[in-house]
A and B are shown apart, each in its own frame.
Chain A
């Protein structure tokens, strides 16, 4: 699977797509492959503050659990209820399935993240 150029990636295998002050956050194809069939996603409440590199939730498969780390700081404006009800969506379309949306407080944080090429190099 390709890693689109329209977004940034983290070493924790998440992606973040920023437009204006709004950031969509999801997990990468590599992450969903490693986890296997996702069965549960634990998400924060709308309105919660998240801080860059801090956990904001967790994602579980049948035999593994992985923390979700916020790529950028900000306030949660939306959580994906569809993912909550149908966690398998993360397996089916990882890069088309955002998990939370954050109103970022420091857009500059994006500079520290990886672009598509750098991330694929990390995986290689």
Chain B
């Protein structure tokens, strides 16, 4: 890369790729190939190799990149946005910004499947669930969804599953068997526009008829044989109006109609929560709890319901269980609801969620506590009331009789003059229609901002700007009352008064007594004990220390691509010019982002070989849904709407069948041949049988078995010949980039997990991004958005709330590609393949490898078969847990084959780390042999008792037949690198049988 002595020194490629040239040569020698090129020739079939290197912009050094990006950032205009619609500027406490959002200890771990080494973020996610269920007044909450609009769609489908009102079948109507009449779902026309569009996207394939109407006068009549099964409301609504929903909800329930309510968590510090009004599901966005706007994300949506529906809830639920020593331990509960187990019958396709952002929101809740939240909400409300008063003095009418933070202001004339004045002042309002302006205030607003807003209105009206008197007694009184009431609530532990009541009594509040929140929330001690920055810093660090992330050791999770998430890629995400952009700000203010999107789309088109890319989907699973909807729209455009059969190999990710079910398609499973590849004969049988109804094949490549199948082109050809499309699951794209591509294998559309191949961190269970690439004939159908123009010429409905999904983290993938360039990004691929084949060469004498090409080569990951040890009582989970004692996270357990471990080393690990991992696996094999041979006890051995905690190893009593040293320090390198698992083996059945999903009572230390 450096071309002269004066060229930059800080090139990224050698920082990203772990192995040095010497190490590479040593690894090739172990594998037994002369060169990396020779290895790649043996790994990837020649027929699908790219004919030329990728054409991408030249790489930039890290310093050059950051300098250029500073200039790009400045092309974004960070106006003060009072647009609302579910997104509000917020103050991220610096301690949370530094110690969570910008901290690899929090952003590099994986989803907490290995719960024993994920207790920190599990505890934090449990805080999130407790905070959400308390604030919403619901019984149980999950640990986050992707965004508010998709949470609304999940609410709709949950209500559909548990509905009591079912449409009469047409059989009953016309006397013959046939399809059901569509189920009707009512939606308030005061829901957010992006919510309504996503609801339509998700309802239509399931034959749910979404009817949007005003809630005043909404009836539940049995029209055309189809009583509505549910209704969705917004509280406060789209324009900021707060209405008492109780009479409506009571009426709905009397008619057998279930109710979902979208809400604003912060408002519920003052307002009666929807749960206390009888809602069946409450959902929303937790963004304004300290998570930057980021031009649309990432943020964590929340979802809460009644205990009766917990088994129908989508997404991850954190529950309390016990470990082998009887101590409290946390884990993900009720996994059987999810796609990786229930496949097309899952409650949802959601997999990656927004764990990092849910943790930030939870930490914000801890930092402020209930009284702090009341004070923040009370202050915003007071400022809104002052603004209303001042606008009233200018002769303007405010329409919302009751509001929390959002005013709806009527103008006598067109909003044009006001818009101009506002832009000049650097302010964005929401222009609801020609004469109506929405102003949503937030935590960052101060008296200067209020003065500026009033000045803008005065200017537009041609009136002199008034000098607002913020010292007026009513305002001061209100603030004091708010603080006092908040304090007394906290101190007395009972609801003697309310903040909203105090504000109203002072003459300034705009919330009637009937809607005052009178119940306590967040009363668990965890929400009151970390208020000083010192305590907050220590609590965050205390939790972080319990978790194993990439900052500790490699995470060899197959199919997850746990590569480096570099600091330079991450830095710009929190720069103000990227982080404080409202997703619905005028696009002219986001030219910096537009440039990033253009560059990234072009690069992803080049890498996939496709014509167009949509950056909207917020996760791989959402990309799958988006891709299937594009295929569906394409078939419809050809007059072939009956094509609804999706062929899916038996070894597919569970999200594939779950997404197909969401897209209204019928799943037909294609068998695997003995070598793990797709059984071509079975594929031919199925394509022939379903030739008239074939919609597509969903296939992962290289396969989920970690092999580049030779027949891939034949497979794609067969599907095309039968009128189907090929959807490629991009989970394993890290083995393709620069060497082959989805287009070269014959696919028509694919998603790319940017959080796998393109360096976005996993965040301990999200965020992620799943853009889709599409061939020319599918490009017109890429998803659009109701508020911002994006997508194809015949765009399908939005799949995410924001037009470019979690826009701010697209910066990470953009940086990854710009820093590496064509050569570097291809070198990442070859080194990922090198690493996997090196691990194979080292471990094959000890563990059998399940699948490889005929020449013995694997792609970027490989599967070790542990089933032969089962007769000795040793299972894959024992090996997974024992690896923790050696300081490693387990490989992927029992996917795609039960009884196996799948290892994906990635290019970022150097040879020394790969060797430590291999040494650990080899030593574990020796421990297994001890058990198999009978020298070690079948039940009391280091594998069965793993992981070993410091407490257990240092206890006065040690009864096991092996030494404490063998338990905790089984190899010399572990002494240097020891990671202590904070809890012993967790009792999973106990947790599911005794489901408990909020913060448990504080445990009294024994003895």
Chain B, Cβ-Cβ closest to A67: B345
How far is the CB of A8 from the nearest CB of chain B, in Å? Answer: 28
Quick check: is B988 within 8 A (CB to CB) of the other chain? yes
> A37 to B336, Cβ gap below 8 A?
no
- Contact residues in A for B507 (Cβ distance below 8 Å): none
Q: Pick the contact of B988 from A37, A38, A64, A87 — CB < 8 Å?
A: A37
Q: How far is the CA of A77 from the CA of B696 in the complex (A)?
A: 45
- Contact residues in B for A37 (Cβ distance below 8 Å): 988-989
- 10 A-B pairs (CB sep. < 8 Å): A39-B992, A40-B311, A62-B988, A62-B989, A63-B341, A63-B894, A64-B341, A65-B341, A65-B342, A88-B993
Cβ proximity bits B710-734 to A, threshold 8 Å, 1 near / 0 not: 0000000000000000000000000
Interface residues on B, range: 10 to 19
Q: Pick the contact of A40 from B341, B342, B988, B992 — CB < 8 Å?
A: B992
> B336 to A87, Cβ gap below 8 A?
no
Most-contacted residue by chain B among A37, A39, A64, A88 (CB, 10 A): A39
Cβ proximity bits B966-1007 to A, threshold 8 Å, 1 near / 0 not: 000000000000000000000011001100000000000000
Top 5 nearest A-B pairs (CB, nearest first) are A37-B989, A39-B992, A65-B336, A62-B988, A60-B336
- Contact residues in A for B36 (Cβ distance below 8 Å): none
- Contact residues in B for A62 (Cβ distance below 8 Å): 335-336, 988-989, 992
Q: How far is the CA of A88 from the CA of B989 in the complex (A)?
A: 9
Interface positions, chain B 331-373, Cβ under 8 Å from A, are 335-336, 341-342
How far is the CB of A65 from the nearest CB of chain B, in Å? Answer: 4
How far is the CB of B308 from the nearest CB of chain A, in Å? Answer: 13
- Contact residues in A for B342 (Cβ distance below 8 Å): 65
- Contact residues in B for A39 (Cβ distance below 8 Å): 989, 992-993
Number of A-B contacts (CB under 8 A): 31
> A64 to B993, Cβ gap below 8 A?
no
How far is the CB of B9 from the nearest CB of chain A, in Å? Answer: 50
Q: How far is the CA of A12 from the CA of B48 in the complex (A)?
A: 44
Chain B, Cβ-Cβ closest to A60: B336
Q: How far is the CA of A62 from the CA of B894 in the complex (A)?
A: 14
A interface residues, tally (CB under 8 Å): 12
- Contact residues in A for B336 (Cβ distance below 8 Å): 40, 60-65
Chain A, Cβ-Cβ closest to B877: A63
How far is the CB of A10 from the nearest CB of chain B, in Å? Answer: 21
Q: How far is the CA of A111 from the CA of B139 in the complex (A)?
A: 48
- Contact residues in A for B311 (Cβ distance below 8 Å): 40
Most-contacted residue by chain B among A38, A63, A64 (CB, 10 A): A63
- Contact residues in B for A64 (Cβ distance below 8 Å): 336, 341
- Contact residues in B for A61 (Cβ distance below 8 Å): 336, 989
- Contact residues in B for A63 (Cβ distance below 8 Å): 335-336, 341, 894
Q: How far is the CA of A60 from the CA of B989 in the complex (A)?
A: 10
Interface positions, chain B 301-347, Cβ under 8 Å from A, are 311, 335-336, 341-342
Q: How far is the CA of A64 from the CA of B345 in the complex (A)?
A: 13
Chain A, Cβ-Cβ closest to B989: A37
Cβ proximity bits A24-68 to B, threshold 8 Å, 1 near / 0 not: 000000000000011110000000000000000000111111000
- Contact residues in A for B894 (Cβ distance below 8 Å): 63
- Contact residues in B for A38 (Cβ distance below 8 Å): 989
Q: How far is the CA of A64 from the CA of B894 in the complex (A)?
A: 12
Interface positions, chain A 49-100, Cβ under 8 Å from B, are 60-65, 87-88
How far is the CB of B264 from the nearest CB of chain A, in Å? Answer: 34
Interface positions, chain B 925-955, Cβ under 8 Å from A, are none
Chain B, Cβ-Cβ closest to A87: B993
- Contact residues in A for B993 (Cβ distance below 8 Å): 39-40, 87-88
Q: How far is the CA of A88 from the CA of B990 in the complex (A)?
A: 10
Q: How far is the CA of A38 from the CA of B336 in the complex (A)?
A: 12
Q: How far is the CA of A39 from the CA of B989 in the complex (A)?
A: 6
Most-contacted residue by chain A among B311, B336, B894, B988 (CB, 10 A): B336
How far is the CB of A119 from the nearest CB of chain B, in Å? Answer: 24
How far is the CB of B875 from the nearest CB of chain A, in Å? Answer: 11
Chain A, Cβ-Cβ closest to B337: A65
Q: How far is the CA of A40 from the CA of B311 in the complex (A)?
A: 10
Chain A, Cβ-Cβ closest to B343: A65
Q: How far is the CA of A36 from the CA of B849 in the complex (A)?
A: 26
How far is the CB of A60 from the nearest CB of chain B, in Å? Answer: 5
Q: How far is the CA of A63 from the CA of B991 in the complex (A)?
A: 13
- Contact residues in A for B341 (Cβ distance below 8 Å): 63-65
- Contact residues in B for A60 (Cβ distance below 8 Å): 336, 992
Q: How far is the CA of A51 from the CA of B834 in the complex (A)?
A: 56
Cβ proximity bits B132-145 to A, threshold 8 Å, 1 near / 0 not: 00000000000000
Q: How far is the CA of A39 from the CA of B341 in the complex (A)?
A: 15
- Given A62-B335, A63-B336, A64-B341, list of 14 further CB < 8 A pairs? A37-B988, A37-B989, A39-B992, A39-B993, A40-B311, A40-B993, A60-B336, A61-B989, A62-B988, A63-B341, A63-B894, A65-B341, A65-B342, A88-B993
Q: How far is the CA of A87 from the CA of B990 in the complex (A)?
A: 11
How far is the CB of A11 from the nearest CB of chain B, in Å? Answer: 19
Chain B, Cβ-Cβ closest to A86: B993
Chain B, Cβ-Cβ closest to A85: B993
Chain B, Cβ-Cβ closest to A58: B336
How far is the CB of A106 from the nearest CB of chain B, in Å? Answer: 22
Q: How far is the CA of A37 from the CA of B992 in the complex (A)?
A: 10
Q: How far is the CA of A46 from the CA of B746 in the complex (A)?
A: 54
Chain B, Cβ-Cβ closest to A40: B992
Q: How far is the CA of A20 from the CA of B988 in the complex (A)?
A: 41
Chain A, Cβ-Cβ closest to B331: A62
How far is the CB of B541 from the nearest CB of chain A, in Å? Answer: 32
Chain B, Cβ-Cβ closest to A42: B311
- Contact residues in B for A88 (Cβ distance below 8 Å): 989, 993
Chain A, Cβ-Cβ closest to B988: A62
